[in-house]
Amino acid sequence: MNNNKKSVASFEIFYYEYLNEKGELIGELPGALQNNPELWQKFYRYLVLNRIYDETAIKLQRTGQLGTYPPTQGQEAIGVGMGMAMHEDDIFVPYYREPGTHLTRGVKMEELYTFWGGDERGNNFTKGTRDLPDCIPIGTQSLHGAGIAMAMKLRKEKRAVVVSIGDGGTSQGNFYEAINFAGVHQLPLIFVINNNHWAISVPTELQTHAQTFAQKGIAAGVPGEQIDGNDIFAVYHHVRQAIDAAHQGKGPYIIEAITYRMGDHTTADDASRYRPGNELDENKDKDPIKRLRTFMAAQNLWNEAKEKALYAEVKAEVDAAVQKYLSNTAAPATDIFDYMYDTWPESYHEQRDEVIAYHGGEA
């Protein structure tokens, strides 16, 4: 026996999965998910909506009607599950790959298209400000989330913040600063790490040498776990559990949701140039939509006719949003001056006049 040493810290990270990739339940469903066909079908509808919204965005981009777009194919269960697990009053602080969460929380689809069409007005959600705009700079949303959670704590509000971030994003200093702050102040802050195995062309093994991303919280005193991010039951249950604990003052939490990016990083990328040969095929069967459909069909809750009807209904909804988006009138060019500064630098008066003159007196 060595009396000079004793263990002063240890940790374990657990992985949770309820619906496997064959669409079979592993053990029992937890809590509110049990015998809840209404909720399962709601999940399914949003997953399909997310996918058709996404496929349509890619088509719009390819035909010159949308800007660069980051697809979510294969990752829809994280966004949808997270959004449905949140309470209305909680605040969502997203990175850029979360249309599923926005849609379940009432953001309009045409607003999302407007933003990805290069028009910041799309971020001014008519439903209000409980969803922050998508954060394009990697990791910065972590600190926005920590600040909001601090305000909730100071105001003694029973609310929580959910920050989403990619696996690559967790390498940024902002992420470590945010989890450290959240741990010290025991903030109601949930981090959902979307581990899709890639950060553009950088694979996860070049991102960290740790066994999991969830354990990044341990050094900050923030507990965490891993879940199957393609299992919507796991996402919904575990995010809800973490939020409810945060509401009770139990502090921050990290959930690493394992998924796979089936598409390119964005429409400006070509993953076939760096993705190893059969990796995509190996992950195809993990599709979150397929597994929920298989599960519901086995329970006699789903069939071909229902599938066809749902796709037709959702397609019509997406088409209507596209029409609204395409009928947007252009924002005045002078907006770049009018909303940038409270008090303008002197030179801007002249420059604004130049812009108006360039547009023939109307801008």
Ligand X SMILES: Cc1ncc(C[n+]2csc(CCOP(=O)(O)OP(=O)(O)O)c2C)c(N)n1
Q: Please, are residues 167 and 127 in contact by the beta-carbon 8 Å criterion?
A: no
Q: Which is nearer to ligand X, 33 or 174 (CB)?
A: 174
User: Which listed option, Mg ion, ligand X, none, makes contact with residue 52 (CB within 5 to 8 Å by class)?
Assistant: none
Which residue in 143, 146, 148, 199 binds ligand X (CB under 6 A)?
199
Asked if 16 is an active-site residue, the reply is no
Distance CA 1, CA 127 (A): 64
Instruction: Give the CB-nearest residue to Mg ion.
Output: 166
List 58, 151, 200, 271, residue binding ligand X (CB under 6 A):
200
Least separation in angstroms between residue 351's CB and ligand X is: 28
The verdict on 166 binding ligand X (CB under 6 A) reads yes
Q: Contact between 164 and ligand X (CB under 6 A)?
A: no
| DSSP H stretches of helix in the chain | 37-62, 76-85, 99-104, 109-116, 140-154, 173-185, 232-247, 279-284, 288-298, 304-326, 335-338, 347-358
**What is the pattern of x (binds ligand X, CB under 6 A) and - over residues 85-104?**
------------x-------
**Of 237, 217, 219, nearest in space to 227 by CA:** 237
Judged by beta carbon, residue 165 or residue 322, the one nearer ligand X is 165
3-state secondary structure of 343: coil
Compute the least distance from the CB of residue 155 to ligand X, in Å.
30
Of 71, 78, 79, whose CA–CA distance to 52 is shortest? 71
Do residues 100 and 131 touch, judged by C-beta distance below 8 A?
Answer: no
| 173 near ligand X (CB under 6 A) | no
Site for Mg ion, rule CB under 5 A: 166-168, 196, 199
Active site residue 274: yes
Rounded distance, CA 352 to CA 338, Å? 9
196 near ligand X, rule: CB under 6 A: yes
List 144, 237, 265, 291, catalytic entry: 265
Catalytic choice (51, 105, 159, 261):
261
Contact region for ligand X (CB under 6 A) — 110-118, 132-140, 226-234, 293-301?
132-140
- Assess contact for 108 and 318: CB atoms under 8 A: no
Q: Which stretch binds ligand X (CB under 6 A): 59-67, 77-85, 131-139, 237-245?
A: 131-139
CA 143 – CA 147 distance, rounded (Å) = 6
**Pairwise CA distance, residues 303 & 181, whole Å:** 49
Give the whole-angstrom CA distance, residue 5 versus residue 248. Answer: 37
Nearer to ligand X, 216 or 265 (CB): 265
Which residues are the active-site residues? 261, 265, 274
